[in-house]
Structure 1
């Protein structure tokens, strides 16, 4: 009996490694968005090209969140960013391409624990509610007017995992960069590219009807609690994700809100137990240096922010909101949610 069990385990392990995906658990809905492990892509055979079926596309598009992993990769942690904790709130990621954002072109991004992707350093001091552009710039030095993409701009700390959750990936910040998607022929690359194409085109934004992404950035904040709360507040967490897709001319941002249970940190007046009250998180975009800004109303810095996880603007998915962000911010059409 022991030999049989061992043989079965070996067979399952080989199948999982060869496909790059974790074997589904019986009785639990699983697909490529759920696995904790992604392995090195298998060597491509000459002349091979993965073809994704419509059924497979429907399957992978049925999940709100795009893929991220806390195992595998060069260091064994996958996309998990061990360097991002409260004492070190942001790290910089460099690109081999340029990302158009509000008329500028960037070859790097700063990933912050505080719910945004930045292209410059944040202000040293905050006044709530947040107002961008910062009017004191450039008259008052060293006050800065930061450039950022803010999905849930609020001071945070890594919270606790929930033992009852099916998804047991570790709490924290995840960052995945996929380049040269137009040339990808393996399963992961083809499915990611086709999923982005379908999701963005359904938003009806300018230029999306023939958009094919070259590069994608997937940043996920999982089980994040608010800064300043008591220890028990670490059990009160939010999970959300921003996906950036670009062909180096047009850039689109997909905001996915999976789970919201608090709105504000204590510095902004939030309660130390619940994270409620005070000034809720900022949602929006700022070009920086006194240029363009876009605050996503009526959700940003409002108690109605909880509703952002129930509503959808893009392809009717609750909690999904799609924007074009290369030259100016344009919100996708808001359709009836699924």
Structure 2
């Protein structure tokens, strides 16, 4: 049986606000060195190495076995994405990626980008519970997940200590795939090279957010 196409689960957290640590832990899935995450190099417009997945992830009807976690707020499947000013969706060139917050991130100025592949039963149980809450009519038990987190990342040209914290989670049971987007603290939208204000991080061509982007071979939600 052909695996189902990806569904999108969007979870919106605190925006333009700083919340207590316990609330942060309740929204974002655990991440960081304590979770044995990998961390992207400190490189403007950089990305992770090519990540080989232990379990293929089905996205718009196609199975992918590798991906990149790009500093500029994108998880891509075919190639790295170092573009810092986002294009309007849908993309004319048909690139395939997940864009939790496509903008000009500069982790040299501040913040970190973490990622890991996991089959931890405690985390999978929490993911399963969240998906069952929002999609009660779709039988689902997570057996695998990939968690990418942008932790208090700065924007290019910043003259402040503003940072954004957000997360993208890919999960599957090999038959059905979901994408979960979590937003904790969003303090800026635009880097200076995208005509944003260096002090406020606003204006210009702001960040684009889209859970799924690609050439569909079946139905999906966004």
TM range (shorter): 0.7 to 0.9
Distance 2:204 2:136 in 1: 35
Q: Taking structure 1 as the reference length, what is the TM-score of the superposition?
A: 0.54
Shift in alpha-carbon separation, 1:206–1:91, aligned structure 2, 3 A: farther
> Which of the two has greater helix per residue?
1
Q: Does 1:286 align with 2:217?
A: no
Q: How many residues align?
A: 202
> Which of the two has greater strand per residue?
2
Query: Which of 135, 151, 161 pairs up with 1:204?
Result: 135
TM-superposition CA deviations, 1:297-321 (whole Å, max 9, x none): xxxxxxxxxxxxxxxxxxxxxxxxx
Distance 1:126 1:29 in 2: 30
CA contact (8 A) 1:214 1:246 kept: yes
Distance 2:125 2:81 in 1: 38
User: Which has the bigger relative contact order, CA under 8 A and spacing at least 6?
Assistant: 2
Match for residue 12 of structure 2? none
Q: Does 1:112 align with 2:39?
A: no
- RMSD value over aligned CA atoms? 2.8
Match for residue 32 of structure 2? 69
What's the CA shift for 1:277?
0.6
Q: Does 1:93 align with 2:47?
A: no
Query: Which of 228, 233, 236 pairs up with 2:162?
Result: 236
Match for residue 9 of structure 2? none
Match for residue 329 of structure 1? 220
Larger Rg over CA atoms: 1
What's the CA shift for 1:125?
6.4
Distance 1:223 1:201 in 2: 29
Q: Does 1:177 align with 2:126?
A: no
3-state DSSP class of the match of 2:182?
Answer: strand
Q: Does 1:271 align with 2:197?
A: yes
Q: Which runs of 5+ in 2 are unaligned?
A: 1-19
Query: Which of 145, 161, 178 pairs up with 1:252?
Result: 178
Distance 1:89 1:247 in 2: 27
TM-superposition CA deviations, 1:55-89 (whole Å, max 9, x none): xxxxxxxx0000112247xxxxx314143532633
Match for residue 3 of structure 2? none
Distance 2:82 2:184 in 1: 30
3-state DSSP class of the match of 2:106?
Answer: strand
Q: Which runs of 5+ in 1 are unaligned?
A: 1-27, 35-62, 73-77, 138-144, 162-170, 180-188, 293-325, 332-338
